[in-house]
Amino acid sequence: MSRSRPPAYVDHRFTVHDVLDPRWLQLSFAVSFAFAMGLLAVGGATLEPASLLGAASLLCLAVTAVVMVLPWPRVPRPVAVLVPVLDIGALGLCALDPAGWAVAPLLVLPVLWMAGTYYRVGAIGAGLAALLLFGLPSTAYLGTDGGTLAWSVLVPLAVTALGLAFVEGIDRLNVDRDELGRQRVALHAAARTIAEQRRFADAILDTVDVGLVLLDHTGAIRTMNDQLEAFMRQAFPRGRSAEDFFAYDVDGVTVLAREEMPEQRAIRGEEFDDCLIWVGEDPKGRRALSVSARTVRDESGGLVGATLAYKDVTEFVRALRVKDEFVASVSHELRTPLTSIRGYVDLVLDGNDVGEDSRAFLRVAARNGERLQRLVADLLHTVQTDAGSLHMIREPADLAAVVRDSVDTARSAAEAAGLELTCETPGELWAVVDGQRIAQVVDNLISNAVKYTPSGSVHVSLAVEDRVQIEVTDTGIGIDSMDRDHLFTRFYRARHAQDQSIQGVGLGLSIIKSIVESHGGRIEVESEVGRGSRFQVRLPLDLLRPDVPRARSNELSRPTA
């Protein structure tokens, strides 16, 4: 928007000259006068130049002729006021003729003219002029007989009142006009501020490397920045309304349905973050965009539009892929030699030809080999989960046996740590699950409980209520509420665990979560620092085999110590 000046609002009082050229004012008086003379002539009055009416007509004609040639509006105001005064004089001349009194109503025109130009002074001045040039001469000339005296006084009075009322009207008009003028100035200033802010907003929009768009409720674009236009050109090279477009789902291959495009979802009222899509016709040059959307609503909550932000995360996604591929291949490469090392160490340990010292060293090697194997398996699991290639083998498995086996496996570690390990399960509980992975969940929870419990007990239970529920409760160090929200995040370790130098890499719980969720379940934790923790795995009831009677599932085996 150009820096235009504010409208010329000049605070001066309005006059009739602002609206009407004096030439028009005089012309309208002259026409009315001529019409009045015509009517009088029809009534028998004489208009000869020597008569009063004739002289008045000549005076009116002369004034009109002069007004027509005067260089308005450069004529000084005192001169201008002479015109209506002379008009009143012409009417006064008429009033000297008894028949000419009829022109009295024409006084209205010069009176309004004067009042409209000089306000109250003009109105009173016009009244005085009417008295001196119209009322008094006619009374003096015609006498006070009949109504002449009354007319001579009342007519000037009436026109003065009329002039004053007119001035009052003009005053009100002026007040309104002033207010309007001020509002116009304020409006202009507001429009300028809006335009300036818009320029700032446009500059900001075009500075950021994020594509931004604002849509109205119909999905039409209200505003967007250059970056977004560039993204859109990749997705819709032949225009947004063209049949073919190049937007793909998170895998970079599946074409997105139009209604699944982020903009369409946002216009339906959805809000989301980090929705990953790929755009671009050429598979090699495709860009990954992370899209976030927020809806815009009016005071009553109705949807009026949506804003979307598109961030180019191609390099990041590629780097993640490279990292995953790297971790996956390294883990694969490590797994085989590790299995072989562990196998041979176990073989040597099983033999009798090793001295006690060497046996102790070999046990350390075996323990660390086992840890390394677990770590490699965890890393591989993480990569597979990310790639969506985590393979689940669901078969009927006895969950009770799975839990008891895990408890038995952990028993020696618990005893070594001086902990009491108890278990409470039904006799058997068959469910269609990936038994090995569920065992991995329970193993991990029990080994964590043992690891993070310096003294006291660990209790494991399996029960069926509204869900299948596996609980591992310990009396250990507990988890701070600040840590609890991040516990299932990869590589996250609670402050307490790190402070006490308890070994771990922070992958176990994230893996457990992915396994439990892939069975349609969820995992929850309750904990108090210094008092212990309770991890609860809840699996849906429909995993239970229908042919296994519920009563049997609920039969609890005796707690084992």
Residue ranges binding ligand ADP (CB under 6 A): 448-449, 452, 474, 476-479, 487, 493-494, 497, 504-509, 533
Q: Of 449 and 515, which has the nearer Cβ to ligand ADP? A: 449
Q: What is the closest distance, in whole angstroms, from the C-beta atom of residue 454 to ligand ADP in the complex?
A: 11
Q: Of 338 and 523, which has the nearer Cβ to ligand ADP? A: 523
Q: What is the closest distance, in whole angstroms, from the C-beta atom of residue 484 to ligand ADP in the complex?
A: 9
Q: What is the closest distance, in whole angstroms, from the C-beta atom of residue 367 to ligand ADP in the complex?
A: 16
**Is there a contact between 382 and 510 (Cβ–Cβ < 8 Å)?**
yes
Q: What is the closest distance, in whole angstroms, from the C-beta atom of residue 271 to ligand ADP in the complex?
A: 31
Q: What is the closest distance, in whole angstroms, from the C-beta atom of residue 504 to ligand ADP in the complex?
A: 2
Q: Of 217 and 484, which has the nearer Cβ to ligand ADP? A: 484
Residue with tokens 């196998």: 343
Residue with tokens 């992958």: 507
Q: Alpha helix locations (H) across 351-434?
A: 356-387, 399-416
Q: What is the closest distance, in whole angstroms, from the C-beta atom of residue 249 to ligand ADP in the complex?
A: 30
Q: Measured between alpha carbons, how far is 122 from 15 in angstroms, rounded to an integer? A: 11
Q: Of 95 and 449, which has the nearer Cβ to ligand ADP? A: 449
Q: What is the closest distance, in whole angstroms, from the C-beta atom of residue 324 to ligand ADP in the complex?
A: 19
Q: Of 100 and 508, which has the nearer Cβ to ligand ADP? A: 508
Interacting residues of 370 by C-beta distance below 8 A, sequence separation 6+: 342
Cis before 73 (ω within 30): yes
Q: What is the closest distance, in whole angstroms, from the C-beta atom of residue 434 to ligand ADP in the complex?
A: 19
Tokens representing residue 324 in the block: 């995953």
- Provide the 10 A C-beta neighbour count for residue 57: 22
Q: Measured between alpha carbons, how far is 328 from 345 in angstroms, rounded to an integer? A: 26
Q: Of 308 and 450, which has the nearer Cβ to ligand ADP? A: 450
**Is there a contact between 443 and 411 (Cβ–Cβ < 8 Å)?**
no
Q: Alpha helix locations (H) across 49-107?
A: 52-69, 77-95
**Is there a contact between 472 and 456 (Cβ–Cβ < 8 Å)?**
no
Q: Of 513 and 538, which has the nearer Cβ to ligand ADP? A: 513
Q: Measured between alpha carbons, how far is 125 from 132 in angstroms, rounded to an integer? A: 10
Q: Of 137 and 504, which has the nearer Cβ to ligand ADP? A: 504
Please give the angle made by the CA atoms of 149, 48 and 139, to the nearest 5 degrees: 10
SS3 call for 469: strand
Q: What is the closest distance, in whole angstroms, from the C-beta atom of residue 508 to ligand ADP in the complex?
A: 3
Burial of 277 (0-12, 13-18, 19+ CB in 10 A): buried
- Provide the 10 A C-beta neighbour count for residue 421: 24
Q: Of 471 and 474, which has the nearer Cβ to ligand ADP? A: 474
With b for 16 or more beta-carbon neighbours within 10 A and e for fewer, the 484-505 pattern comes to beebbebeebbebbeeeebebe
Could you tell me the maximum CA-CA distance found in the chain, to the nearest angstrom?
Answer: 162
DSSP β-ladder status, 457-464 and 420-424: parallel
Q: What is the closest distance, in whole angstroms, from the C-beta atom of residue 497 to ligand ADP in the complex?
A: 3
Q: Measured between alpha carbons, how far is 449 from 426 in angstroms, rounded to an integer? A: 22
Q: Of 118 and 488, which has the nearer Cβ to ligand ADP? A: 488
Tokens representing residue 509 in the block: 């719980």
Q: Of 177 and 496, which has the nearer Cβ to ligand ADP? A: 496
Q: Of 291 and 446, which has the nearer Cβ to ligand ADP? A: 446
Phi, psi of 524 (to 5 degrees): -130, 155
Q: What is the closest distance, in whole angstroms, from the C-beta atom of residue 334 to ligand ADP in the complex?
A: 18
Ranked by CB distance to ligand ADP, the top (closest) residue is 504
- Provide the 10 A C-beta neighbour count for residue 190: 10
Q: Measured between alpha carbons, how far is 221 from 306 in angstroms, rounded to an integer? A: 10
Q: Measured between alpha carbons, how far is 394 from 396 in angstroms, rounded to an integer? A: 7
Q: What is the closest distance, in whole angstroms, from the C-beta atom of residue 440 to ligand ADP in the complex?
A: 12
